[in-house]
Structures are given as C-alpha cells and as structure tokens.
C-alpha cells in the first residue's frame, strides 16, 4: 500500500498519517502518473534498455518543485518510473538566497543532485529598467543554463514543476496580452531538438501542491525577485481566476479541461482547419439550377 511506513522513499518520512493527507498524496501521485502516460514522457522501451533515460528535475525550493521531486521519486521507488533522476538547483546569485538549504535537504534525503551557481541576477538587474518585470529575461537565462547542465549530465529531459494553475494562467495571459491561444505544453522539444521539457504536474492543482509541501514541512524558499514586483500580468490573471473560483467552485478545472478538448473547426484559425475547402454534402443529388433563388 502507498502509506506503509517501511516501504516509502525517505522524502516521505514523517508524512502525516491522516486520511486527508493519504487521499491528497494518492491523488497527486495518480495525476502525475496519468500525465506521464498520457503525454508520452516515457519511451516504451525505457524499462528494457540497458541504459535508463535520465531526467534533470529542476528544483527551485518552492512548494511545486518539492512536490514534483517527491512524487517522481515515489513513482521511481515503486518501479513505475523507469528513469534515473537527478535533482538540480540553479543558484542565480539572488541576494539573501539561503544557499545551504537545498544541498542540506537533498543530502539528508539521499537524493542525487547537482547545485550550480550562475549569477544571472546581476545580468537581469543590469539589463531590465527599473519598474519593469524581470520574469522573461530571468527565465531565458535560467532555461539556457538548465539545458547546458542537462547535456553535461547526460539527461534526455529537463523536468519542471509547473502545475495545472500555471498552465491555465499562462493560457489567459496569452489570450489577454498575447492575442493567441497557447499555454505551457506538458511535453516540449527544445529548439535544438536534443532535449525534452516535461511538466508531469500538468494535471495537479496548485492548492494540492501547497497542502502537500506544507504537510511534509519541506523547507520552502520563496522567490523574492519576482514576488517583490506589483502589477505583474500573472498576478492579475491569478486574481481574476481566484474570483471566478470563489463564485463558481470547480471553475478552474472546467476551464483546464477545455484545454484538452480543442475543436479547430469551431475556432477561427484557417491554418488549423480548412474552412475554404469545406463543402456541403448534398447526398449525391445534383442541384437543379432552376431551383436556385436569385442571390443565393
């Protein structure tokens, strides 16, 4: 069973024994496994190959990345994830960042890891004018370093902790500000074509990640760089979604389900559906020209 104390990964030591937490844990594990299978994150031959694929788990120290780390190790521990896992934290030189927290935690849990220091903070502060958001440049610099580390470590995929709400918020940011229907895909091939980017928590709610990481008492490290700025587009979208959820509980899940149920013929993108080539089916009966009304 999932909660036998003598059959768990160290990341789950001290887990609450309440029924509520057991249900939460089981739900997150199930949803993560479903996403991995649904979006083809595992090569069918991975469990028979002599050399297993290796994933780079990107660990920021936030609630989402801790949840990702624990659940993937749980699946691996139980023989349901035939890959090698390497946790990685990119210390970006942010002032006040507690650099010893993650190494100490990972050592204690016996998790293979790599800690990388790259001062991207100074670059962001130098390039971005005062009052502007840091997220775009910070993200690009971080992603470039993570790709490099993945190649150096022989990893086939970079694995991120974005959850359902991140994906939904990104969709609405693109809708409101980008003029396009797009979001974070659960599986992506990088531009160079040599690395996958996976988001195994794609189906998991942010609230579940928060409840899980809090219950496990993982040492959460907040990101003060982005969080210190007011008026970020993502915060605005999040506030809108929070309001909808309060007024209609379950609305987030309904909207998320819509992202998995796209109908190109009922949208307006002629690149996705051949509207010009759409023809009526007259059942093989040729129309009589005399029956046509002028102006039809």
Q: Binding site for [4Fe-4S] cluster: which residues? A: 135, 138, 226
Report whether 170 contacts 256 (CB < 8 A): no
CB 118 within 8 A of CB 142: no
277-286's contacts with Cβ under 8 Å and 24+ in sequence apart are: none
Q: Distance between CA 47 and CA 94 in Å, rounded?
A: 40
DSSP 218: -
Q: Helix (H, G, I), strand (E, B), or coil: what is residue 143? A: helix
* 164-173 helix and 251-259 helix, angle to the nearest 10 degrees: 70
Q: Are 186 and 39 contacting, i.e. CB atoms less than 8 angstroms apart?
A: yes
| C-alpha closest to that of 56 among 200, 144, 153 | 153
CA distance 159 to 97: 22
Token pair listed for 152 = 């150096």
Q: Evaluate whether 118 touches 94 at the Cβ level (below 8 Å).
A: no
* Known binding-site residue numbers: 135, 138, 226
110: left (phi over 0), alpha (psi -120 to 50) or beta: left
Within 10 angstroms of residue 281's Cβ, the number of other Cβ atoms is 5
Q: Which helix (DSSP H) or strand (DSSP E) does residue 206 occupy?
A: helix 206-216
Neighbour order of strands in the sheet with 54-58: 113-117, 84-91, 54-58, 157-159, 196-198, 187-189
């Amino acid at each position: 069973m999932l909660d036998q104390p003598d059959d768990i990964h160290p990341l789950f030591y001290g887990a609450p024994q309440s029924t509520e937490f057991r249900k939460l844990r089981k739900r997150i594990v199930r949803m993560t496994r479903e996403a991995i299978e649904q979006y083809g994150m595992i090569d069918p031959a991975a469990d028979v190959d002599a050399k297993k694929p290796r994933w780079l788990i990107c660990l920021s120290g936030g609630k989402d990345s801790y949840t990702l780390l624990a659940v993937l190790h749980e699946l691996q521990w139980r023989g349901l994830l035939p890959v090698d896992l390497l946790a990685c934290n990119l210390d970006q030189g942010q002032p006040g960042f507690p650099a010893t927290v993650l190494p100490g935690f990972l050592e204690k849990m016996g998790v293979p890891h790599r800690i990388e220091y790259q001062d991207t903070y100074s670059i962001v502060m130098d390039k971005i004018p005062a009052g502007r958001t840091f997220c775009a440049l910070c993200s690009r610099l971080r992603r470039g370093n993570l790709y490099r580390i993945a190649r150096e470590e022989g990893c086939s995929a970079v694995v991120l902790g974005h959850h359902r709400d991140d994906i939904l918020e990104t969709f609405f940011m693109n809708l409101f500000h980008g003029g396009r229907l797009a979001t974070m895909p659960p599986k992506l091939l990088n531009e160079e074509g040599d690395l996958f980017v996976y988001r195994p928590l794609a189906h998991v709610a942010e609230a579940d990640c928060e409840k899980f990481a809090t219950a496990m008492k993982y040492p959460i490290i907040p990101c003060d760089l982005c969080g210190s700025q007011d008026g970020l587009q993502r915060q605005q979208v999040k506030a809108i979604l929070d309001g909808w959820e309060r007024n209609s509980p379950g609305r987030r899940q309904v909207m998320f389900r819509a992202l998995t149920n796209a109908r190109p013929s009922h949208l307006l993108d002629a690149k996705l559906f051949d509207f010009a080539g759409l023809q009526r089916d007259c059942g093989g009966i040729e129309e009589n020209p005399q029956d046509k009304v002028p102006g039809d």
